[in-house]
Amino acid sequence: MTEITAHHGLFRNTNLHVDDTGGSGRPLVLIHGWPLSGESWSKQVPAFVEAGYRVITYDRRGFGRSDKPKTGYDYDTLTEDLHTLLTELDLQDVSLVGFSMGGGEVARYFSKYGTERLHSVVFASAVPPYLLQTSDNPDGPLPKSQAEEMTAGLTKDADAFYDDFTTSFFSVDGELKVTEAERQEALALAKQASKTAALEAMASFANTDFREDLPKVTVPALVIHGDSDGTVPFEGSGARTHAAIPGSELYVVKGAPHGVTVSDTDEWNRAVLEFLAK
């Protein structure tokens, strides 16, 4: 457990909470989804360590145990935070795994920093290529009305919003696919988020267009997604990301919700580990 200073500000620094298992294995950086924290990878870290990897998780600024500044929730800044982590820890030959919102940092990394430090990447139930449905992005799976409803709900009553959100996060057709205890764990992580950060980050993952970033992904890439994801629907996100990255691999988890890393842990871990071993 450590902290890195992701941004040296004029009046204050932004420190990120980092958990690093250490060891001599190839580094694997896991980037969490919204509105959770690095602790959301608890069902992956032991399996990946057992497979011989040095596993690093961190809490995105504004979430979990990291600093919660008022600004910096655009993807360029968030990706700069990720790059700072890689450079501060002097990580080379890295595999990045971005879940949901975290897939955005993975995509943007190639445009900002290239491939020098990277071995491979995983887009896991990830938001690229472009969530918001617009006139030039008709296949975007997030209608503007739904985005506005989410913003209004979180603004009005964060506790009620997160309770509903974590339920849908882990559900398929109204049926919860995890235990209530597992849902409560995610709910507790969500409540650690700064409300400002949650709202600003929500706007970023809804409105950021990654269509020009994805063709720059030239290292081995896996797209893994549940086909019953009601939060980031597969057809409008994972399927399009796979099509946009030449040579990428696709793994679809049948009947899985957005929170597939918890609902279908063994299958998800096995598929990702098989890809990482190549």
Give residue limits of the domains in the chain: 2-276
Number of other residues whose CB lies within 10 A of the CB of residue 190: 24
Q: Which candidate in 17, 225, 242, 258 is catalytic?
A: 258
The two three-digit tokens of residue 55, written as one number: 């596993």
Residue 7: pLDDT over 80: no
C-alpha R_g of the chain: 17
Q: Which amino acid is at 14?
A: T
Q: Which candidate in 20, 229, 263, 264 is catalytic?
A: 229
Q: Which residues contact 249 (CB under 8 A, 6 or more apart)?
A: 220, 221, 222, 223, 242, 275
The two three-digit tokens of residue 173, written as one number: 């057709």
Tell me what the mean pLDDT of segment 205-221 comes to: 98
- pLDDT over 70 for what percent of the chain? 97
Q: Does 100 participate in catalysis according to the annotation?
A: yes
Angle at 149 between CA 148 and CA 151, to 5 degrees: 65
| Nearest Cα residue to 81 out of 190, 185, 197, 187 | 197
Confidence class for position 4, pLDDT limits 50, 70, 90? confident
What does the mean pLDDT of the chain come to?
96
Tell me what the mean pLDDT of segment 92-101 comes to: 98
Model pLDDT, residue 8: 61
Classify domain 2-276 at the CATH class level. Answer: alpha beta
Q: What is the rounded CA–CA span in Å between residue 18 and residue 61?
A: 11
SS3 29: strand
Each residue of 128-182: pLDDT tens digit? 999 999 999 999 999 999 999 999 999 999 999 999 999 999 999 999 999 999 9
Predicted TM-score (pTM) of the model is: 0.96
Q: Which candidate in 37, 66, 100, 171 is catalytic?
A: 100
Q: Does 258 participate in catalysis according to the annotation?
A: yes
Q: Where are the alpha helices (DSSP H) in 70-210?
A: 75-88, 102-113, 144-156, 158-169, 180-190, 195-207
HSE of 15 in the Cβ direction (CA atoms, 13 Å)?
7
Tell me what the mean pLDDT of segment 237-248 comes to: 98
